[in-house]
Amino acid sequence: MTEAEFLSIVEPGDVQADLLVIGCFENEAPPLDGLAGPVAAAARRLAERTGWKGGDKQYVETAPGEGPVAVVGLQGLGARGELDVRRSLRWICRRVEWAQNAGIAHLALRLPAADTTLGPAAAERVARTAALAQYRFDRYLTERRRRSHRLDRLTLLPPNGGARDYRQAVADVPALAAALVLTRDLANAPANEAHPEWMEERARDLAQSRGMEVSVLHRDELERRGMGGILAVGVGSRREPRLVRLDWGEGDLALSLVGKGVTFDTGGISIKPANDMDEMKYDKAGACTVLGIAQAVADLELPVRLRVYVPLVENMPDGGAYRPGDIVRCYNGKTVEVINTDAEGRMILADSLAWAAEEEPDVLLEYSTLTGASVVALGQNAAGLYSPDEDLATGLLEAARDSGEQLWRMPLWPEFLEQMKGTHADLKNSASRWGGANTAAAFLSEFVGGLRSWAHLDIAGGACVSRDSEEHPRGATGYGVALTVNWLRGHLG
């Protein structure tokens, strides 16, 4: 079943479901306008129960006994003024999870009228969250370990005045949801499967299915072009490095996307601690993000000239691996003194950004799980944004807010670049521990040439979650796909 068949919008009087859950604010009557008589009557009885207040996470249900809905439930949402974007999405995920565990086949949700549920941006957020609420990366689980039940249908009853926005959102969401599933599946794939060759194959599959042109630079071509950063990081693995480029579309805006694709990061000679090293399969999340964006742009037929650059390497310790103290020459001719082989992402991005900037896009966006320092600064649900372009930064921040993704602008001050100056080379790839995300971004700024309209998104915090949450199952989130598509739509007008 496709997302379009799974998710639907109906008016309150037309709802038929095994379970209808109505969102209610604390100390307010439930929104019952338009519901069939027996359904509305059952909801009123629930609201009159002793102890019912509509507090956050409070839930009651009953069977109407007749009518088009088998069971009616009231879901407390807390005080109206406290329903922020994240809470409004969590209650959808929570109800879907509960319905699956209870064996419900058809769930309907009545959305309350609030700032976080009204308008095109809210409709897209809600519909996207609903379409993806059942996502699990379970292809490696045996049948007995897989979820025994999934919803057959999920119906949304839009808030008063929201029907048009929600119908449009549901029409567009399948393409975006499919792109997010692609991004999550690629990022969740384990490193013994998802090595550089495998990622190249997936990029080729995407290109073939969407009419994109694809070109791949393998070792010989990387050497010929002087892409020393990619070569240095990849030399310690038996899986050879490569740089994939996709081209698609026509339009006035030339947009380039760059995504970090370290399929597994041991840290190399500067090896990482063993704890949580299994999560280093997510160091390719930037590459997965730009491939997901490319699929969404193609499926939505957005009028843009899109170029996507995906450097793919595995950072391994080996007798031939690159070392601290090595000096590497990158594609734009700048030399880099290697201080830490675990600062590998910026090395492969240096070559990729320089090539992308050389082709003179109007806008260049780069996504990478670049630094743990970003997670220390912003937490495990947010990404850091770096850009010298005020308009671009503002647009991306607004798009993130509308998408329900957390993005925070960080500084590109000159002193951070000063810290990245090398002793025996133009640059070094690591500085002190202080402001590590900022110095990394400053390093990248040396590889975009004279291009001002560029942005670096350090998605280390938002790309994956370490444990199941109300919003995401453990694993990749697909962070960045929705906000970029929303930004692009707004930018294109």
Which positions are annotated as active-site residues? 272, 346
Rounded distance, CA 124 to CA 172, Å?
Answer: 8
Residue 156 dihedral angles phi and psi, to the nearest 5°: -105, 135
- Going by C-alpha positions, the residue among 233, 241, 192 that lies closest to residue 216 is 241
The neighbouring-strand residues paired with 427 are 336, 421
Other C-beta atoms closer than 10 Å to the C-beta of 418 total 11
Compute the distance between CA of residue 395 and CA of residue 403 in angstroms, rounded to an integer.
12
Phi and psi angles of residue 190, each rounded to the nearest 5 degrees, phi first: -70, 160
Of 121, 47, 128, 53, nearest in space to 93 by CA: 128
Owner of token pair 């073939």: 208
Q: Cβ of 350: how many Cβ atoms within 10 Å? A: 28
Cβ count near 285 (within 10 Å): 30
Alpha-carbon distance of 84 to 92, in angstroms, equals 13
- The structure tokens listed for 282 are 């997510």
The SS3 call for residue 154 is: strand
Alpha-carbon torsion 260, 243, 174, 280, what sign? negative
CA distances to 108, 115, 366, 459 from 100, in Å: 13, 28, 37, 31
DSSP 217: E
DSSP string, 225-293: HT-HHHHHHHTTSSS--EEEEEEE--SSEEEEEEE-EEEEE--TTSPPPSTTGGGGGGGGHHHHHHHHH
Residues in CB range of 112: below 8 A, 6 or more apart = 23, 24, 25, 31, 77, 83, 159
Strand 242-248 and strand 106-110: the pairing is unpaired
Give the whole-angstrom CA distance, residue 327 versus residue 336: 5
